[in-house]
Amino acid sequence: MTASGRPPNQLLQMLDAADFELLLPHLVTIELARATVLSEADVALRHVYFPHDGAVSITVGPSEGQTIEVAMIGRDSIVAGGAALADGIALSDAVALFPGTASAVEISAFRNAAAASARFRGLVIRHEQALFARAQQSLLCNTLHPVEARLACWLLRAYDLSNKKALPLTQDTLAQMMGVRRNAVSLVAHELQRAGIIRYSRGQIEITDLCALEATSCDCCSAVRAHHARLLRLPP
């Protein structure tokens, strides 16, 4: 819990007292071990999740074969909020990328809270718009920008969510998330390490020069942050 007495999720923190009381009796804190599946595409949802820390990867892809990440979310987001307000069927897979905790609420309680409060419903809708903007930016980034800039941007997002410079990541995981070959990630990671920007070992990547990583990334990072702040009506 934070100083406000609420779980450390940005959207739960933003709710006014009356709206938070609608959810409070139904919030259950759960552990998210790495690779915990929170939703599966085309499968009925049972819960909506408000991550406290760690990171959740939202991916799409064919039923069999390589998937690609369209967004990485965490304490600034909700998992499956939009689908819960629609028909309750997940549109994508959501899997815990870094371990952490989250508040889980049954889909029926989430829907009841949204039906009872236009303010809460509006916040969820604005969040879904922000998530859509993130997915759009991801498509643009994957199409136009070189792997080095994309990798730098991805690592910055991971840092923003975890607030940790040492990230439990393999190059295989990075390649899968970015939709590129492993050797492409390996070459770029090697160059970033030579430049003193990161240091990697088996199963871990450490950011050693955050400012240089920012300079290496594309402008998608700042664009996504701006979309999120505007749509969620965050203070400057």
What are the tens digits of pLDDT across the range 9-40?
A: 999 999 999 999 999 999 999 999 999 999 99
Q: Is residue 236 part of a domain?
A: no
Q: In whole angstroms, what is the distance from residue 195 CA to residue 206 CA? A: 13
Q: Check pLDDT > 90 for residue 75.
A: yes
140 part of a folded domain = no
97 and 157 share one domain: no
Residue 64: predicted pLDDT:
64
Compute the average pLDDT of residues 67-73: 90
User: In angstroms, rounded to a whole number, what is the distance separating the alpha carbons of residues 154 and 234?
Assistant: 22
Residue 108 lies in a domain: yes
Instruction: Quick: pLDDT tens for 170-193.
Output: 888 888 888 889 999 999 999 999
Cβ burial of 121 (10 Å; 0-12, 13-18, 19+) is middle
- Mean pLDDT throughout 42-63? 92
Q: The pTM is what? A: 0.93
The answer to whether position 4 is within a domain reads: no
Domain residue limits at 105: 10-126
CATH number of the domain that 18 lies in? 2.60.120.10
Q: What is the pLDDT of residues 103-127, one digit of tens each?
A: 999 999 999 999 999 999 999 999 9
The answer on 157 and 113 residing in a single domain is: no
Q: What is the pLDDT of residue 111?
A: 97
Name beta bridge partners: 140.
Answer: none
63 has pLDDT over 70:
no
150 and 120 belong to one structural domain: no
Q: Is 231 within the bounds of a domain?
A: no
68 falls in which pLDDT band (50, 70, 90)? confident
- The answer to whether residue 209 is domain-embedded is yes
- For the record, the structure tokens of 113 come out as 């809270």
Give the sign of the dihedral formed by CA 119, CA 49, CA 137, CA 152: positive
CATH of the domain at 161: 1.10.10.10
| 202 inside domain | yes
Q: What is the CA radius of gyration of the chain?
A: 18
Integer Cα distance of 82 and 91 in angstroms: 9
What tokens appear for 194 in the block? 């030579």
| pLDDT of 65 over the 80 cut | no
Tokens linked to 167? 């990230």
